[in-house]
Amino acid sequence: MAKRIKSPYKAWRKYRNRENTCTTLHKVFDYATTTYAKNIAYQYVDGGQKYTYAEFRTKVERLSQRLSRFGIKHGDRVAILSQNMPNWVVAYFAATAYGRIAVPMLQDVSENEVTNILTHSESKVLFISQRMMGKLSEECRKKLTLLIDIETFEFIKKDKEDFKCNGWVKEPLPDDLATIIYTSGTTGKAKGVMLSHRNICQNLAASFKAQPAFRKDRFLSILPAAHAYEMCVSTLYSFYVGATCYTLQKPAAPAILLPAMKKVKPTIICSVPLIIEKVIKNSVWPTIQKSRILSWTDKHFPKLLHWFIGKRIVRTFGGKLAFFGVGGAKLDPAVEKFLIECHFPYAVGYGLTETAPLVCNAMVNKRKRLGSIGVASYKVDIRLDNVNPANGEGEIVVRGDNVMLGYYKDPERTLQVMDDEGWFHTNDVATMDQDGYYYIKGRLNNTILGPSGENIYPEEIEQVINNIEGVEESLVMQRDGKLVALVKFHDNAIDWDQAGEDKFFEELEARKNAVMEWVNKTVGRNSKIGEVDAMKEPFEKTATQKIRRFKYKDSHGDEPEKPATQDKPKPDHEDTVRN
């Protein structure tokens, strides 16, 4: 008997039906745990917490019942403060699948931020890991109805008088609030972004259109699950398609990550540019430069060498990688060009927490456009607002089922970014080519106005600086009417233990002069920098490794005083020595 071939039309109809059916997280939960019951849903890479979809359903249902017995009902806020783990997702669905509202918090929040979020959101329940207990103040602890150890689901705090058995729940509607994600981004004051069930489910459908995944896929979760990017494009998307999502029990340092990849052999990873940039800049390129054979091959047969290197990188990532998603920040153009030449299966995406998050995406198997964030995602409308006719630059504005309900308890800030027709103003400036591919230039609130009224985008200058040998990262700002670059050099380029010695200052000055000379030779006349400051400590960053710019508005670097000598007088200023 001939082997029966599955109809592609039937397969398409199956996934189309899933999209039409899964309009809330309750329906996603019901669909996935029924359809993929025997599959592994979530587990630690090294064992421990592990759930099949059927076991996951049972665990969530029982946990929801326990919450109901203490009066935690539909619409109540349930906060989560924990590192990634399978139980994180259990707690998330115990809230959202039954009409409660999840309030996930990033792992690097401070005690003050935890207090502010719990107070502002009026959360009644907090799932917390032992690692995060030090961030919970006694004042917040007293206000909570339930405090639950997320690793065991044992109650740390409960009061008998709270045992009311009246925590009525109901199936949420698509436009009901599902989660509040607090984010300070790179600009300061935290915002509570309200995402509905429709917002999140639209993102799941868009993720499938951008990169189809199936029950045999293996996701490796390396970013914080509380961040919209990881939450929606990885942690929840794997559940949506019946795949297995693996999580690490320790932070994703190279010593932990590489063995995990060899063990799991992931097919899908969502990452930030910093990870792949470090692999290329700190490992691949130095290896080529140090080898006479590889250097010669790179000069005479680059396509062959890069193809071979691409295969080796995939093998380093476990050997089965089909999709390496890059989002959260802009990918270095030099690294991206190298990845294209290596045929590495990466894809760039663009989005914001306010858009749940996908706005644009490029696909793995489509021809790459260097520097592009891709085309509009599935069922997302995009246009450029206030376009400059001279260069085609305009602000990206977005409309669709992915756009947030607004900022929690902040109608004024909501009205600042949402217009009457439902368009969300992203504050990102971009251009678009004739094929509908978008290219980010920078952020409106980062844009520097030049002396002739021209727009200067610091991000473009930073890309030039970051490609200089010895530079780890940089930040460009305007100070006293001139452009200043704060530069963090690699530790092997500048030895800060020698600070105070004449030789140290000579080497530091040489590095800074080299940065200024190269940048001013490379960029346009209006983007030339007038000063370079060296930073001793790494820049403070967001969860997706973007520098918190507002923290360095008045920074003058970390350079120490130059020691006084008989023939070299001490500088007048005390905080830094600058070009």
How confident is the model over 244-268, as pLDDT tens digits? 999 998 888 888 898 999 999 999 9
> What was the pLDDT predicted at 301?
93
Which of the given ranges, 370-384, 505-519, 532-546, has the highest pLDDT on average? 370-384
Contact (CB, 8 A) for 99 and 76: no
> What was the pLDDT predicted at 451?
64
Class of 448-552 in CATH: alpha beta
> What was the pLDDT predicted at 163?
64
> What was the pLDDT predicted at 186?
46
Amino acid at 2: A
Mean pLDDT for the stretch of residues 129-155: 95
> What was the pLDDT predicted at 541?
81
Mean pLDDT for the stretch of residues 405-431: 94
Mean pLDDT for the stretch of residues 101-106: 96
> What was the pLDDT predicted at 197?
98
- The one-character DSSP state at 234 is I
Architecture of the domain whose range is 272-446: 3-Layer(aba) Sandwich (3.40)
What would the two tokens of residue 228 be?
């919209």
On the 0-12 / 13-18 / 19+ scale of CB atoms within 10 A, 234 is: buried
In angstroms, the CA 544 to CA 271 distance is: 8
The answer on pLDDT for 559 being more than 80 is: no
The answer on pLDDT for 391 being more than 70 is: yes
What is the tens place of the pLDDT at every residue in 224-238?
999 999 999 999 999
> What was the pLDDT predicted at 164?
66
DSSP 353-422: GGGSSEEEE--TTSPP-TT--BEEPTTEEEEEES--TTT--EEEEEEETTS-SEETT-HHHHHHHB-TTS
What is the tens place of the pLDDT at every residue in 326-343?
998 888 889 999 999 999
- Of 147 and 528, which is predicted with more confidence? 147
| pLDDT tier at 402, thresholds 50, 70, 90 | very high
> What was the pLDDT predicted at 554?
63
Mean pLDDT for the stretch of residues 87-109: 96
Mean pLDDT for the stretch of residues 262-281: 92
In angstroms, the CA 328 to CA 352 distance is: 8
What is the tens place of the pLDDT at every residue in 355-369?
999 999 998 878 889
What is the tens place of the pLDDT at every residue in 423-467?
999 999 999 999 999 999 888 877 786 765 567 888 888 888 988
In angstroms, the CA 164 to CA 171 distance is: 21
| pLDDT tier at 185, thresholds 50, 70, 90 | very low
The answer on pLDDT for 206 being more than 80 is: yes
Architecture of the domain whose range is 14-221: 3-Layer(aba) Sandwich (3.40)
Topology alike, domains 14-221 and 272-446: yes
**What ranges do the domains of the chain cover?**
14-221, 272-446, 448-552
- Of 447 and 7, which is predicted with more confidence? 447
Tokens 């809330």 label which residue? 24
The answer on pLDDT for 420 being more than 80 is: yes
Mean pLDDT for the stretch of residues 96-106: 97
Q: Considering the chain, what percentage of its residues have pLDDT values greater than 90?
A: 63
DSSP 58-122: HHHHHHHHHHHHTT--TT-EEEEE--S-HHHHHHHHHHHTTT-EEEEE-TT--HHHHHHHHHHHT
> What was the pLDDT predicted at 459?
84
What is the tens place of the pLDDT at every residue in 43-81?
999 888 999 999 999 999 999 999 999 999 999 999 999
> What was the pLDDT predicted at 172?
97
Q: Considering the chain, what percentage of its residues have pLDDT values greater than 70?
A: 90
> What was the pLDDT predicted at 556?
61
| pLDDT tier at 570, thresholds 50, 70, 90 | very low
| pLDDT tier at 10, thresholds 50, 70, 90 | low
The answer on pLDDT for 4 being more than 60 is: no
In angstroms, the CA 498 to CA 563 distance is: 12
In angstroms, the CA 93 to CA 97 distance is: 5
Sequence-distant (6+) residues with CB within 8 A of 345 are: 314, 321, 322, 323, 324, 364
Mean pLDDT value across the chain: 88
> What was the pLDDT predicted at 250?
85
Q: Which residues of 462-500 are buried (b: 16+ CB within 10 A; e: fewer)?
A: bbbbbebeebbbbbbbeeeeebbbbbbbeeeebebeebe
- Of 170 and 494, which is predicted with more confidence? 170
The answer on pLDDT for 5 being more than 70 is: no
Contact (CB, 8 A) for 515 and 485: yes
The answer on pLDDT for 6 being more than 60 is: no
| pLDDT tier at 561, thresholds 50, 70, 90 | low
Assessment of whether the complete model's pTM goes beyond 0.85: no
The answer on pLDDT for 574 being more than 50 is: no
Tokens 């270095």 label which residue? 332
| Strand, helix or coil for residue 191 | strand
